[in-house]
């Protein structure tokens, strides 16, 4: 059985971490497989968005400690932990979280754009409890996503956060019943996949590229990217379909 | 007869009853140590001639030959067989003996010995709940007596004049030594971390760091109102597994590994089943005699801490050095996952011998039925 599964249908890719016996912990092989699937996602014209999830009722326990002990370097140069954290895909990525997303597993969640979690999902960065610090983006992304005090409470105490609290502070978009995170994420993905793919990918690009910039800089960054979208065939198709009261047929250019 | 070596030995951390490992299926726990053993030694699992697996309560989650199921669960080739051994508390020590005998006799070239017990999932005595193990011959021979380990331990304490204070002091020592060993990282090189909800399980969790003679004194006797045995000076109910790779020196060399030790001598003996726990003494005499070694030549003893009177009576009878007894604590502190304990003790002893450059180590475990296995290993 493959340690990472990938399927793509109806515009939506699903990447499943599939090592339930190790709580989907990340080995070098997992990082490589995820990186390959993210490349495939960005390359394939028929996929517009993807879901990242874990098999067996858990999301991911972080780095595989047994792999670490046998001397494996789990992160990929240029791609990061799980093949994701240092270079997320161009297309939107949704985390579907059941159970624990811990340490590196939570940092994978933070590298996703949207999060759907089941009611009993738990998120945490316990590194300080072991005398370590998170290094797969947790310290860098979390304070940008939630208020600084909330981020630092998680980081400095190492205590996990519930799905309800994560939704309250804006880390999680939707909370589902247990066992429903993947389906919830697929629904969210379907509503993204229905939209103009060039517009969706560019919207994500602009949001990321302008982060931390002054408004003046941000508008300057945005201009050529938005111009390309406004000049696209999809922009004309979107307007035409709306006028003709029909579903648009996107060409991604 | 061929020489037999133990290439490597690994174990899970030991979980408390209903603790961190409670949800991990015993077949899964077994598979984890098999995988770790292959990972560490570089042995091709296809070359493993058999997996000899100790397990005591072989019903429910531990039924249908855990040894074979462990192989399949580990993702090893279907060509690797497995068998399951019941020698009560010494099951995986017996598994090592069978494995070593098989290599010596030429039935095996490479074999894994080990064992498992999830006492959280399959409680001690569960198999006796569904049937009557003692037939009429036993009843006739031993009357209405039920074989009780606790009463056996009380009998030994009485026979050797051990006070509650003696036993509690030994229990405290076990906790202190196990805590110090854990803090010093003594077990790190032998433990296979287990992924569980909430993170990685990496340390034995039975150790009570805050215990004291006063706290132990407050515990009520478990078997007799006027007794001296209680939960604090008996082994804990636990979950865990251990595994060892056993082969010939030539094959170990081909693997490019210096074995941890040579399997020097093994013996099994038995004594009266009512007192139950004193088989360790004839077993030790037998193994020493067979090996040609004296107790003064042995640098470490692992005597399973089923109940505090057992290692103490053993020490008195064999005239051992108290300092060399269970130097990293024992089952009173870290627990006794029955079928896994033999392999866990050997693993602990072999790594201790390596770290302290000890030549000979002796392991002995008391077993229900009055039996005991004794093993001597020699560092290479």
* Boundaries of every domain in chain B: 264-379
Task: Say whether both A93 and A149 belong to one domain.
Answer: yes
Of the candidates B28, B40, B198, which has its C-beta nearest A21's C-beta? B28
Whether A253 maps to a domain, the answer reads no
Q: Which two tokens stand for residue A26?
A: 């990340």
Q: Do B195 and A25 touch (CB under 8 A)?
A: yes
Distance from CA of A60 to the nearest CA of B (A): 9
Q: Say if A23 is an interface residue toward chain B (CB within 8 Å).
A: yes
pLDDT at position A12 is: 98
A:B CB pairs within 8 Å: 36
- Active-site positions of A read 107, 127
Which residue has tokens 């693993």? B347
Give which of A129, A124, A109 is closest to A160, Cα–Cα: A124
pLDDT at A1 over 80: no
Task: Decide if A252 is inside a domain.
Answer: no
Q: Using one digit for the tens of pLDDT, what is the confidence trace for B2-24? A: 999 999 999 999 999 999 999 99
Cβ B196–A23 below 8 Å, yes or no?
yes
Domain carrying residue A234: 197-243
| Contacts A122 to B, Cβ<8 Å | 198
Quote the pLDDT of residue B341: 98
| Interface subset of B 38-57, CB within 8 angstroms of A | 39-40
SS3 B115: strand
Other beta carbons less than 10 A from residue B108's beta carbon: 23
pLDDT for residue B198 = 86
Q: Using CA atoms, how far apart are residues B204 and A51, in angstroms rounded to an integer?
A: 37
Q: Is the pLDDT of residue B328 over 90?
A: yes
Degrees (nearest 5) of the Cα angle B212, B218, B224?
125
Query: Angle at which helices A215-230 and A233-243 pack, to 10 degrees?
Result: 70
d(CA B190, CA B179): 16
Give the one of A61, A70, A160 whose C-beta lies nearest to B200's C-beta. Answer: A61
In angstroms, the separation between the Cα of residue A146 and the nearest Cα of chain B is: 22
Query: H or E stretch including B84?
Result: strand B83-85
Summarised one tens digit per residue, pLDDT across range B193-243 is: 999 988 899 999 999 999 999 999 999 999 999 999 999 999 999 999 999
CB contact under 8 A, B193 and A69: yes
Look at A65 and B36 and tell me if their CB atoms are within 8 Å. Answer: no
Query: Measured between beta carbons, which residues in chain B are less than 8 angstroms from residue A61?
Result: 195, 199-200
Nearest by CB: A65 against B28, B31, B193:
B193
Query: Residues A99, A141: one domain?
Result: yes
- Residue A223 domain-assigned (yes or no): yes
Using a CB–CB cutoff of 8 Å, tell me whether A141 touches chain B: no
Residue A206 and residue A154 share a domain: no
CB–CB contact B197 A58 (8 Å): yes
Based on the fold, state whether residues A43 and A90 are members of the same structural domain. Answer: yes
CA distance B204 to B123: 19
Model pLDDT for residues A60-71, shown as the tens digit of each residue: 999 999 999 888
Shared domain check, A228 and A184: no
A103–B199 CB contact, under 8 Å? yes
Are A120 and A41 contained in the same domain? Answer: yes
The rounded distance, in Å, linking the Cα atoms of A109 and A51 is: 11
Place of tokens 């150790």: B207
CA pair distance B47, B80, nearest whole angstrom: 8
Mean pLDDT of B85-102: 98
Return phi, psi of residue A62, to 5°. Answer: 95, -150
A204 and A107 in a common domain = no
Q: Do A21 and B39 touch (CB under 8 A)?
A: no
Of A21, A69, A100, the CB nearest to B198: A100
Residue A248 lies in a domain: no
Say yes or no to pLDDT of B365 above 90: yes
| CATH superfamily label, B264-379 | Thiolase/Chalcone synthase (3.40.47.10)
HEC states along chain A?
CCCEEEEEECCEEEEEECCHHHCCCECHHHHHHHHHHHHHHHHCCCCCEEEEEECCCCCECCECHHHHHCCCCCCECCCEHHHCCCCCCCCCEEEEECCEEECHHHHHHHCCCEEEEECCCEEECHHHHHCCCCCCCHHHHHHHHCCHHHHHHHHHHCCCEEHHHHHHCCCCCEEECCCCHHHHHHHHHHHHHCCCHHHHHHHHHHHHHCCCCCHHHHHHHHHHHHHHHHCCHHHHHHHHHHHCCCCCCCCCC
Please report which helix (H) or strand (E) contains residue B180, including its range: helix B164-183
Closest CA to B176 of B145, B149, B207: B207
Of A21, A99, A103, the CB nearest to B197: A99
How far apart, in whole angstroms, are the C-alpha atoms of residue B266 and residue B278? Answer: 17
Q: Which residues of B touch A69 (CB under 8 A)?
A: 193
Give the integer Cα–Cα distance in Å for A140 and B275: 64
Residue indicated by tokens 């039925």:
B369
3-state secondary structure of B377: strand
Residue A82 CB partners (closer than 8 Å, separation 6+): A26, A30, A31, A34, A60, A104, A107, A108, A136
Predicted pLDDT at B278: 96
Q: Write the DSSP symbol of residue B300.
A: E
B69 inside 8 A of chain A by CB? no
Q: Distance, in angstroms, between A176 CA and closest chain B CA?
A: 20
User: Which pLDDT tens digit goes with each residue over A148-194?
Assistant: 999 999 999 999 999 999 999 999 999 999 999 999 999 999 999 99
- Does the beta carbon of B199 lie under 8 angstroms from any beta carbon of chain A? yes
Quote the CA–CA distance of B31 and B192 in Å, as a whole number.
Answer: 11
- Contact criterion met (CB < 8 Å) for B193 and A102: no
Kindly determine whether residue B200 and residue A65, on different chains, have CB atoms separated by under 8 Å.
yes
Same domain, A32 and A108: yes
pLDDT surpasses 90 at B143: no
Q: Average model confidence (pLDDT) for chain B?
A: 96
Q: What are the chain B neighbours of A62 within 8 Å (beta carbons)?
A: 199
Nearest to B195 among A22, A122, A126 (CB): A22
Predicted confidence band at A144 (pLDDT cuts at 50, 70, 90)? Answer: very high
**Averaged pLDDT, A34-55:** 97
B32 Cα to chain A: minimum distance (Å): 9
Q: Is B265 left (phi over 0), alpha (psi -120 to 50) or beta?
A: beta
Q: Which of B199, B202, B243 to mutate: most A Cβ within 10 Å?
A: B199
pTM value is 0.91
Do A211 and A115 share a structural domain?
no
Q: Which of B310, B361, B314, B305 is nearest to B333 (CA)?
A: B305
Domain total in chain A: 2
From A21, A61, A66, residue closest to B192, measured CB to CB = A66
Q: In this complex, is the C-beta atom of B31 within 8 Å of any C-beta atom belonging to chain A?
A: yes
Residue B232 and residue B168 in contact, taking contact as beta carbons nearer than 8 Å:
yes
State yes or no: pLDDT of A128 exceeds 70. yes
**Main-chain dihedrals φ then ψ at residue A167, nearest 5 degrees:** -70, -40
Residues 218-247 of A with CB under 8 A from B: none
Note which residues in 97-116 of chain A have CB less than 8 A from chain B.
Answer: 99-100, 102-103
pLDDT at B132: 87
Written in H, E and C, the secondary structure of B5-31 is: EEEEEEECCCEECCCCCCCCCHHHHHH
Q: What is the full DSSP assignment across B132-169?
A: ----HHHHHHHTT----HHHHHHHHHHHTT--HHHHHH
Tell whether A133 and A213 lie within a shared domain: no
Give the closest-approach CA distance of B198 to chain A in angstroms: 6
CA-CA distance, B260 to B274, in Å (whole number)? Answer: 37
Give the residue numbers of B annotated as catalytic, written as ranges: 89, 336, 366
Q: Mark whether A207 and A224 lie in a shared domain.
A: yes
One domain for residues A158 and A171: yes
Q: Which residues pair with A97 in a beta bridge?
A: A117
A249 in a structural domain: no
Confidence of residue B145 (pLDDT cuts 50, 70, 90): low
Query: Which pLDDT score, from 0 to 100, does residue B146 have?
Result: 74
Tokens of B26: 């015993």
């Amino acid at each position: 059985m493959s340690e990472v599964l990938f399927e793509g249908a109806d515009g939506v890719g699903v990447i499943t971490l599939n090592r339930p016996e190790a709580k989907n912990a990340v080995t070098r092989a997992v990082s490589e497989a995820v990186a390959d699937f993210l490349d495939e996602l960005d390359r394939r014209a028929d996929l517009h968005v993807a879901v990242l999830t874990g098999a067996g009722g858990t999301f991911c326990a972080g780095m595989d400690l047994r792999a670490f002990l046998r001397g494996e370097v789990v992160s990929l140069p240029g791609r990061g932990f799980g093949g994701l954290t240092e270079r997320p895909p161009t297309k939107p990525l949704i985390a579907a979280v059941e159970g624990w997303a811990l340490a590196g597993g939570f940092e994978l969640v933070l590298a996703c754009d949207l999060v759907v979690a089941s009611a009993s999902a738990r998120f945490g960065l316990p590194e300080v409890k072991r005398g370590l610090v998170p290094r797969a983006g947790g310290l860098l992304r979390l304070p940008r996503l939630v208020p600084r005090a909330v981020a630092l409470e998680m980081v400095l105490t190492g205590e996990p956060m519930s799905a309800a609290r994560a939704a309250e502070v804006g880390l999680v978009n939707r909370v589902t019943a247990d066992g429903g995170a993947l389906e919830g994420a697929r629904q969210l993905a379907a509503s993204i996949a229905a939209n103009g793919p060039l517009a969706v990918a560019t919207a994500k690009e602009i949001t990321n590229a302008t982060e931390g910039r002054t408004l003046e800089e941000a508008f300057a960054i945005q201009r050529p990217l938005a111009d390309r979208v406004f000049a696209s065939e999809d922009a004309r198709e979107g307007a035409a379909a709306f006028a003709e009261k029909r579903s648009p047929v996107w060409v991604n250019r | 007869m061929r020489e037999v070596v133990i290439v490597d030995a690994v174990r899970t951390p030991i979980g408390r009853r209903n603790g961190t490992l409670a949800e991990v299926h015993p077949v899964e726990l077994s598979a984890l140590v098999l995988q770790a053993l292959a990972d560490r030694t570089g042995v091709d699992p296809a070359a493993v001639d058999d997996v000899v697996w100790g397990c005591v309560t072989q019903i429910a989650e531990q039924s249908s030959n855990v040894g074979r199921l462990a192989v399949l669960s580990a993702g090893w080739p279907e060509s690797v067989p497995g068998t399951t051994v019941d020698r009560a508390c010494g099951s995986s020590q017996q598994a090592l003996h069978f494995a070593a005998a098989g290599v010596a006799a030429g039935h095996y070239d490479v074999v894994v010995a080990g064992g498992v017990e999830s006492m959280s999932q399959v409680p001690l005595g569960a198999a006796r709940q569904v049937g009557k193990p003692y037939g009429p011959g036993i009843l006739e021979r031993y009357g209405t007596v039920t074989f009780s380990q606790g009463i056996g331990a009380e009998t030994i304490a009485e026979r050797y004049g051990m006070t509650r204070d003696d036993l509690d002091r030994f229990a405290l020592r076990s906790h202190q030594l196990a805590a110090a060993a854990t803090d010093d990282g003594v077990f790190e090189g032998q433990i296979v971390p287990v992924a569980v909800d909430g993170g990685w399980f990496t340390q034995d969790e039975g150790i009570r760091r805050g215990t004291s003679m006063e706290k132990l004194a407050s515990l009520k006797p478990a078997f007799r109102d006027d007794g001296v045995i209680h939960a604090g000076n008996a082994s804990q109910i636990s979950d865990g597994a251990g595994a060892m790779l056993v082969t010939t020196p030539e094959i170990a060399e081909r693997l490019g590994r210096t074995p941890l030790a040579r399997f020097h001598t093994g013996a099994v003996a038995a004594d009266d089943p009512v007192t139950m726990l004193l088989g360790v003494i004839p077993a030790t005499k037998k193994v020493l005699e067979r090996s040609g070694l004296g107790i003064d030549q042995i640098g470490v003893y692992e005597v399973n801490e089923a109940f505090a009177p057992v290692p103490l009576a053993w020490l008195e009878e064999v005239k051992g050095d108290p300092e060399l007894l269970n130097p990293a604590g024992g089952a009173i502190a870290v627990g006794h996952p029955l079928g896994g304990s033999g392999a866990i003790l050997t693993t602990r002893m072999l790594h201790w011998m390596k770290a302290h450059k000890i030549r000979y180590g002796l392991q002995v475990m008391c077993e229900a039925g009055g039996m005991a296995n004794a093993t001597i290993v020699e560092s290479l």
